[in-house]
Structure 1
Amino acid sequence: MAETKDYYEVLGVDRDADQRTIKRAFLKRAREVHPDVSDAPDAEERFKEVNEAYSVLSDEQKRAMYDRYGTVDGAAAGGGYVDFSDIFGGMGMDDIFSSFFGGQACGAGSRRERRRGRDMAISLTVTLEEAATGCTKTISYDRLAPCETCGGGGMAEGAEERECPHCHGTGVVTTVQRSIFGQVQSSSPCPECGGEGTIVDKPCPDCDGEGRVPTHEKLDVKIPAGIATGRQLRISGYGEAGYRGAEAGDLIVTLEVAAHERFQRNRDDLYVALPISMTQAALGVTMSVPGIMPDEEVEIRVPAGTQAGDAIECAGFGMPRLGGGGSRGRLIARAEIKVPRELPAEARRL
C-alpha cells in the first residue's frame, strides 16, 4: 500500500493491547469487512488493511519496529500478509468463513454438522533415533479453542438462546428474483443468526457469541517406537473447538522421519556402509559398529572372501516394528572395500 497506516486504528485497539486482544479484534474486523460478507465497494481494500495490520501487530519483532519507526525492514509497515491457515491451524479462508457464516448450510441437518469443530492438521519431524526409541514431542499450534469466559457456550451471564425471528429457526432465508427466465429462487444462510437458527440475546463479550477464541497452544505428543514417514496420529478433541460448546474436532499429526547420516531405512530394515580393508575382506574379520539404539554396539562378522557390495545381515538390530511387541527388523551392512592407491614395497612383498 502506498501510505503507512495506523494499524492500531485499523484494528480498533489501543497501542498497549496484548496479543489476545489483537487476535480478537482482527477476527471481528475480518468478519465485518470480508468481501464475501460486506457489500461495501471498498470491502476488498479494507480487508487487505486488516490483514496487513494483523501481520505486523501479531509479530512481536515487527510490532516493536513499527512502534519505534513506523516501518518494518526499512519499508512502510504492512508489506506482509497473514496466512489464515497458520492462524487457524490449516484452515483455508473458505473454511474459516464457512465456519463463521454458515457456508453452504441449507437446513437443520447441515447446521448440526457445521457446529462440530473442524479437524486440524499439522506436520511433525523426528530423527531416526527418536523414531526408533519412541519419544514425546511438544508441538505449538494456533486454533480456535473454547472461550474460558463463557465456558464455550457463547453466552454472557443471564443470557438465553432463542429461535431466530428472521428465519424462524431454519437458519436459511429464501429470496425470489425476477429474470428473463422467470422467477429464480435461491437460499442462503440467515444473516441474522449466521445459519444457526438461534440467536443469543446477550453474547459473551470475549468471543462475540461464538463460544471459541483464537489461542496459541502447546501439546505433548507421544511418538510410538517404529513410526515411519507418512504415519498419522489422531488426537481426539484437540482440533477446532465446536460452535457454542459443540464437539471439538481432532488434531491429525503427520509424521516425517528425517534422513540419517549413517543409516538408510527400508521399512523395518536399516542399511549401513561397512568400510573394510582388502586384507580384512580376504581373510575375514569381526567388527563392532554403533547401532540405532542408545549405547548399542552390533558385532558384525565379515566372512573371508567378502566382495565389494556384499550384504551381511544382523537380525534383530534394525528398526522396531510398530506395534510388534518389541521385535525389530534387520541391520544390513554393505561391504565397502578400501583399496590403497599405493603400496609400500614391504606390503607389496607380503
Structure 2
Amino acid sequence: MSDSKDYYEILGVDRDADARTIKRSFLKKARQVHPDVSDDPDAEGKFKELNEAYSVLSDEQKRANYDRYGTADGPMGGGYVDFSDIFGGMGVDDIFSSFFGGAGGGRGGSQQRRAGRDMAISLSISLEEAASGCKKTISFDRLAPCEDCGGSGAAEGAREVECSRCHGTGYVTTYQRSIFGQVQSSSPCPDCQGEGTVIDHPCDMCDGQGRTPTHEKIDIDIPAGIATGRQLRVRGYGEAGFRGASCGDLIVTIQVTEHARFTRSGDDLLCEAHVSIAQAALGCEIEVDGILEGERVQVSVPAGTQFGDVVTQDGYGMPRSGAGSSKVRGRLLVRVLVDVPTKLNAAQREALERFAEASGDDVAHKKSVGDRIRDAIDDMLD
C-alpha cells in the first residue's frame, strides 16, 4: 500500500465515517469506474485505486494502522498479517466482475444460477496447532447478502413484477436468417437475467441483486489431528445467492507446514534423539519433547541399540481425527543417533582402551604413559 494516497479522499468519505458509509460510497463510485461498465480508458487503474482504498478502510486492523502510521502494514512494514493465507478462491476482481456483470446487475451479463457458488481458500497451520486443535480467524472477500435490503434486492415498499420484455418466461426468442433458412434461438432475458420478474424499485446499495461485495472475518475451529488436504466446510459463507437465494459454502483446505523436529506419517511422528556410545551399549532412559505444549516423553533405549535404530513409544503421536477419537493418538518413533566422542580425556581413553583390550579389538593407536600425562595436564587446563 502506498502511504502517499489519501484513501478517505479516494472514497469521498470523512475520516470518522462508519463502515456502512464507507461501503456505500465505495459501491457508488465502483459502479461509475468499474471496467465492465465504464468507457473511461483509465477505468481499470481508477478501479484498482478505489479497491485498494476500500480494502484498507473496510478492514478494522488495516484502517487502524493506516490512521496511525499512514500505511496498512503498520510501523514495521508488515506488522499486520491475515491469518487466512488466502490462495485460490474468487479474487476481488472476480467478485466485482460478478457483481457488476452477473445476474441481477442489470448490465446485460450472462445468466447465473440463483443460488450462490461455493468459495475456496487455503489455510496454513503449524504441526503443533494440528496436534492440539485450534481456532483461527480467517478473512476473505465475497458477495454477501446486502445489509440494506436483507438480501431481497428491493428498496422499501418495492415489489417484484413480471418482466415486460419476456412476459415472465425468463427467456427471449430471436430469429436469424441463415443459408438453412430462418433459425430460432432462445436465451436468458437480458432485462430480468432469466428470473421472469424484475423489482420496480431496486435497492440502491446492491442495485437489485440482494448481495454486495464484502470483506468478511470469521472464526473457525480446527479439529485435533487434522492433516494436509483436509477440507472444512463453513455453511453459508460462500457467495450469496441472487435476490435472497441460498448462499454457497466456504471450503477451507488445510495445509500443515513442515516441522523442524518432527516428520509426520499418518498418525505417527518421527523424531531423532542423541545418546552416547555407553548409553547405546548399556541401555538407558532418555526424555524427549512431545508435540503438545509442555509434553515430555520418557523413552527406553534398549541395550545394544545401533545408530539409526528406531524406538517406538505408543500414544504420543498425532491425535486420530474423527468423531470421538481425538484422545486416541498414534506412535512416537524415535530414531536413535549414537554420538561418537571426538575428544577423550585421559580417564575416558583409558576406559575405552581397556574395553577394546577385553573385547579383543585392535585400535589404531595406544598412547604411551607420557602421552597420557600430557592429556591429563591438558584436561586440567581446559
Check whether TM > 0.5.
Answer: yes
Work out the CA distance in 2 between the residues paired with 1:224 and 1:280.
39
After TM superposition, the score normalised by the length of structure 2 is: 0.71
Identify the residue that residue 289 of structure 1 maps to in structure 2.
Answer: 288
Matched residue count: 321
Question: Aligned in 2, Cα 1:57/1:226: closer, same or farther, shift over 3 Å?
Answer: closer
Work out the CA distance in 1 between the residues paired with 2:32 and 2:194.
16
Identify the residue that residue 170 of structure 1 maps to in structure 2.
Answer: 169
Q: Return the offset for 1:168.
A: 2.0
Q: Return the offset for 1:248.
A: 0.8
Question: Aligned in 2, Cα 1:37/1:194: closer, same or farther, shift over 3 Å?
Answer: farther
More displaced, 53-62 or 245-254? 53-62
More strand by share: 1
Question: Aligned in 2, Cα 1:25/1:168: closer, same or farther, shift over 3 Å?
Answer: farther
More displaced, 146-155 or 229-238? 146-155
Identify the residue that residue 46 of structure 1 maps to in structure 2.
Answer: 43
Identify the residue that residue 121 of structure 1 maps to in structure 2.
Answer: 120
**Structure label with greater radius of gyration:** 2
Gaps of 5+ in 1: 73-85, 104-109
Question: Aligned in 2, Cα 1:5/1:271: closer, same or farther, shift over 3 Å?
Answer: closer
- Counterpart contact for 1:24–1:214, Cα < 8 Å: no
Q: CA-to-partner distance for each residue in 1:55-103, whole Å, 9 max, x for gaps?
A: 245435799989xx9xx9xxxxxxxxxxxxx8x9625756754565457
Q: Return the offset for 1:232.
A: 0.3
Question: Aligned in 2, Cα 1:99/1:114: closer, same or farther, shift over 3 Å?
Answer: farther
Work out the CA distance in 2 between the residues paired with 1:22 and 1:196.
31
Question: Aligned in 2, Cα 1:329/1:7: closer, same or farther, shift over 3 Å?
Answer: closer
- Identity, in percent, stands at 58
Matched, 1:233 2:242: no
SS of residue paired to 1:130: helix
Summarize the alignment of residues 86-97 of structure 1 with structure 2, pairs less than 5 Å apart: 90-91=90-91, 93=93, 97=97
CA RMSD of aligned residues (A): 3.8
Identify the residue that residue 346 of structure 1 maps to in structure 2.
Answer: 347
Summarize the alignment of residues 160-199 of structure 1 with structure 2, pairs less than 5 Å apart: 160-176=159-175, 188-199=187-198
Question: Aligned in 2, Cα 1:49/1:239: closer, same or farther, shift over 3 Å?
Answer: same
Q: CA-to-partner distance for each residue in 1:125-176, whole Å, 9 max, x for gaps?
A: 2221221122222222222222232221111222110111122223334444
Q: Return the offset for 1:37.
A: 5.6
After TM superposition, the score normalised by the length of structure 1 is: 0.77
- Counterpart contact for 1:118–1:241, Cα < 8 Å: yes
- Counterpart contact for 1:24–1:213, Cα < 8 Å: no
Work out the CA distance in 1 between the residues paired with 2:267 and 2:244.
44
Q: Return the offset for 1:51.
A: 2.6
Work out the CA distance in 2 between the residues paired with 1:317 and 1:296.
9
Work out the CA distance in 1 between the residues paired with 2:178 and 2:45.
34
Identify the residue that residue 139 of structure 1 maps to in structure 2.
Answer: 138
- Counterpart contact for 1:240–1:250, Cα < 8 Å: yes
